[in-house]
Amino acid sequence: MPSDEIIYLDNNATTRLDPAVVEEMLPFLTTSYGNPSGGYQFGAQARQAVDQARERVAALLGCQPGEIVFTSCGTESNNAAINSALQFNPRGKHAVTSSVEHSSVLRHCEQLVKRGCDVTFLEVDQNGDVDLAQLEQAIRPETAIVSVMWANNETGVLFPVEKIAEICREKRVLFHTDAVQAVGKIPIQLRDCAINSLALSAHKFHGPKGVGALYVNRRTRFVPSTLGGGQENGRRAGTENVASIVALGKAAERAAECMVEEQTRVRTMRDRFEKAIAENVSGTAINGALAARLPNTCSVSFEGIESGAALALLDRHRICCSAGSACRTGSTEGSHVLRAMELSDERVRGSLRFSCGRFNSQEDIDRAIDIVPKAIEKLRSLSEAVATGSPTGVAS
Ligand code: PLP
């Protein structure tokens, strides 16, 4: 009998707000509503809160507060970084990215192609890794930017972005990384690193949706995409979303505090889940298992099932997970990430992503380990019954 409490295993889609974050942002939604640009004490309070948030985000990333630009989300940060590089470099007629990026980079690059810019989409191997020699070869004299994600949202596979940034620095090409899934999950130290810009999003690490940031190295020229008032030091116009920025700052502080303990605890839960699934369900393959991965993500393919049907059945048991990425749920194409890894159609069709987070308990994992194998078994016997035309006798 399904229990009423949800088992939330979709932390790469979004995360629950940390109560400390809610507490810190609430006054800025109620009493402290001043505009940070106001020339009075009431406005200055809001400005100080935004400055404190900037310091907290910078501390999490190991960079300077002045290198942080607040934005509305990870998508905006990615778009702004790529646009800036192309506008800034008059020879910039070419960009390099990978074929497994999030849609906020891929769709943007596809749009650039329509506007006459050439884009190289790097392939990945079966483990989901990029070939650094191929990446280096892809850089040309007219390349304006290389944009490669830090951690893949579907498989959790980590790209060696620090090494890639070094290659780009030697070739004098800007390097941007979409670190939306990495920030808050793994340690990041941008000081003395060759990364020019980095995107992050609060809702992936227990902050609210609709607020993000773009790190822009102090020596990197930046052309803003959003023009208007001089907010964010002229780099992103628009009255600051103070409450959300404060929340992002607090979420960053909490991530820094919890990082060491959480990495181990979350990895242990993910590994326990993965091991149990692999042992108890035949025809199972963990995607990206041989690559360096985020500690929280499990992308798994089950032979003989359709992920859409599995999601629906698991939902009835109150398990929240995704087919590939959350953005893909409902799409019939199948994951572009798993296809890029050249996995078979069957493996792509039968893939599910489970992602753990700060508020998962061992009990959640116990319940998932109990429910998932039974659900897969049920789906397999149903499709076998359909194939053979025999009555199933399987109650839903
Ligand atoms: N990049 C990656 C890797 C993501 O996983 C996401 C969100 O799923 C984004 C970018 C977009 O972030 P946001 O939802 O804040 O626009």
Reported as a single tens digit per residue, the pLDDT across 69-89 is 999 999 999 999 999 999 887
* Alpha carbon 271 to chain centroid, angstroms: 20
User: Ligand 1, closest atom to CA 178?
Assistant: 1
What's the pLDDT score for residue 341?
97
Q: How does residue 264 score in pLDDT terms, banded at 50, 70 and 90?
A: very high
Question: What gap in Å lies between CA 14 and CA 189, rounded to an integer?
Answer: 24
The pTM is what? 0.95
Question: What gap in Å lies between CA 67 and CA 253, rounded to an integer?
Answer: 17
Q: How does residue 385 score in pLDDT terms, banded at 50, 70 and 90?
A: confident
For residue 58, how far is its CA from the centre of ligand 1 (angstroms)? Answer: 20
Please name the residue whose Cα sits nearest to atom 12 of ligand 1.
74
Question: Which position among 117, 258, 320, 327 bears the catalytic label?
Answer: 327
Contact 180 CB / ligand 1 (< 6 Å): yes
Q: Residue 390's CB: how many other CB atoms inside 10 A?
A: 9
Q: Is the pLDDT of residue 285 over 70?
A: yes
- Lowest mean pLDDT of 38-52, 230-244, 279-293, 320-334, name the range: 320-334
What's the pLDDT score for residue 315?
97
What's the pLDDT score for residue 332?
55
Buried b vs exposed e over 32-51: b needs ≥16 C-beta within 10 Å? eebebeeeeeeeebbbebbe
What region, left, alpha or beta, does residue 116 occupy, with left being phi > 0 and alpha being psi -120 to 50 degrees?
Answer: left
Instruction: Work out the average pLDDT over 190-219.
Output: 97
How open is the CA angle 151-274-395, to the nearest 5 degrees? 120
Residue to probe by mutation, ligand 1, list 105, 180, 329, most atoms within 8 Å of CB? 180
Contact 353 CB / ligand 1 (< 6 Å): no
Q: Is the pLDDT of residue 291 over 90?
A: yes
**CA-CA distances (angstroms) from residue 189 to 58, 184, 193, 226, 256?**
10, 12, 7, 28, 12
For residue 329, how far is its CA from the centre of ligand 1 (angstroms)? Answer: 15
Please name the residue whose Cα sits nearest to atom 8 of ligand 1.
13
Q: How does residue 393 score in pLDDT terms, banded at 50, 70 and 90?
A: very low
Instruction: Work out the average pLDDT over 229-256.
Output: 97
Q: Is 327 a catalytic residue?
A: yes
What's the pLDDT score for residue 90?
72
**What is the chain's mean pLDDT, rounded?**
94
What's the pLDDT score for residue 325?
53
For residue 156, how far is its CA from the centre of ligand 1 (angstroms)? Answer: 13
Q: How does residue 92 score in pLDDT terms, banded at 50, 70 and 90?
A: confident
Contact 97 CB / ligand 1 (< 6 Å): no
Question: What gap in Å lies between CA 248 and CA 203, rounded to an integer?
Answer: 8
pLDDT digits (tens, 9 = 90+) for 336-351: 999 999 999 999 999 9
Q: How does residue 7 score in pLDDT terms, banded at 50, 70 and 90?
A: very high
**CA-CA distances (angstroms) from residue 20 to 10, 126, 255, 266?**
21, 41, 11, 20
pLDDT digits (tens, 9 = 90+) for 294-329: 999 999 999 999 999 999 999 999 999 999 655 445
Instruction: Work out the average pLDDT over 200-208.
Output: 98
User: Ligand 1, closest atom to CA 327?
Assistant: 8
Instruction: Work out the average pLDDT over 31-37.
Output: 97
Instruction: Work out the average pLDDT over 255-281.
Output: 97
Residue to probe by mutation, ligand 1, list 104, 147, 155, 327, most atoms within 8 Å of CB? 104
For residue 177, how far is its CA from the centre of ligand 1 (angstroms)? Answer: 12
Contact 184 CB / ligand 1 (< 6 Å): no
Please name the residue whose Cα sits nearest to atom 13 of ligand 1.
74
**% residues pLDDT > 90 (the chain):** 90
Contact 104 CB / ligand 1 (< 6 Å): yes
What's the pLDDT score for residue 326?
52
What's the pLDDT score for residue 150?
98
pLDDT digits (tens, 9 = 90+) for 53-65: 999 999 999 999 9
